[in-house]
Structure 1
Amino acid sequence: MRTLDRTDLKILDVLQREGRLSMTELAERVNLSATPCSERVRRMEREGVIMGYYARVNPAALGKNLLVFLEIKLSSKDGDVFEKVKKELEYVPEVMECHLVSGDFDYLIKARLPEMNRYRQLLGEILKRMPASAESRSYIVMEEIKETLYLPVDR
């Protein structure tokens, strides 16, 4: 990946905050003309610096009021266990994030669901699918203080 210059960083900062800006508006904000700005954005998309554009949806609007974090510890870490876990969890729609982590547990999972009964079902499904699950720990979020996809851009 190419090193990002000061203008690239400005573009990334603005796009993270206001991803729906037109290329003309973006160019004005970063003091470029539209063509070079557009070329920089396309290059960063091609190179995987910009990974996509999203609409941030209010979970309550879809009835997904329950936010849960789940830790899973595997009893075995032999062979292709991690690849099997990845394949099992990758397509579970309620799982928003899944991370292989260091520490006391192997996986940290973030899920959004409509209610506790659905979480109980999901937990059972996940543990059944795990090739070597040994232990799990759940954390039910009582209040969301901060959630963002914004990455601070150091200029």
Structure 2
Amino acid sequence: MEKLDDIDRRILMELQANGRMTNQDLSERVGLSPSPCLRRLKQLETDEVITQYVALVNPERVGLGVTAFVRVRLDQQDDRHLSIFEEAVADIPEVMECYLMTGDADYQLRVIVDDLRAFEDFLRHKLTRIAGVSQLTTSFALRPVVYKTALPIHTARE
């Protein structure tokens, strides 16, 4: 993959703001004619700079009112136990994000559920049943203050 130039970066910024934009609109916004713009877009997809297109859904509008951040400690941190945990949480729909961490926790999860009862079910029937989980610490989000999905991509002029 070649280094991204300013036009590639502008394409990425525009699509992060509106992924449903037509190629015609995108080309006008970044200052290219439609054919070269489409070629660049296809190259960004081929190079896996753009990995997918999604719709962002408001969790509360679909009944998912509780966001929890769960810090997980494993009883052992060898490759085998890390892999077991990572494969297991990847298959749990309520786990929106999972990060391998430094510090006092091995993993940090962002979990979204309907309500506190659903969170208890998630803990008791899913998370604590993963082999090697030894300690959990949970914090509940009261409300989002900053929530971004667009990466901070800058052009040379910024």
Q: TM-score, normalised by structure 2?
A: 0.94
Percent identity of equivalent pairs: 29
Gaps of 5+ in 2: none
How is 1:19-30 mapped onto 2 (pairs within 5 angstroms)?
19-30=19-30
Tell me if 1:128 matches 2:129: yes
Gaps of 5+ in 1: none
Quote the Cα distance in structure 1 between the aligned partners of 2:103 and 2:42. 39
CA shift digits 1:89-110 (9 cap, x unpaired): 1110111111111111001101
Secondary structure of 1:139 counterpart: strand
Query: 1:79, CA displacement in angstroms?
Result: 4.3
Secondary structure of 1:80 counterpart: helix
Misfit runs of 4+, over 3 Å = none
Tell me if 1:43 matches 2:43: yes
Quote the Cα distance in structure 1 between the aligned partners of 2:56 and 2:24. 23
Secondary structure of 1:32 counterpart: coil
| TM-aligned CA distance change 1:18 to 1:134, over 3 Å | same
How is 1:88-99 mapped onto 2 (pairs within 5 angstroms)?
88-99=88-99
Query: 1:2, CA displacement in angstroms?
Result: 2.1
Quote the Cα distance in structure 2 between the aligned partners of 1:98 and 1:7. 32
Query: 1:87, CA displacement in angstroms?
Result: 1.1
Aligned to 2:60: 60
Aligned to 1:87: 87
CA shift digits 1:118-140 (9 cap, x unpaired): 101111221111x2111110011
Alignment root-mean-square deviation, CA: 1.0
Quote the Cα distance in structure 1 between the aligned partners of 2:2 and 2:101. 28
Aligned to 1:109: 109
| TM-aligned CA distance change 1:122 to 1:40, over 3 Å | same
Query: 1:52, CA displacement in angstroms?
Result: 1.1
CA shift digits 1:42-92 (9 cap, x unpaired): 111111101111111111111001011100011111341111111111110
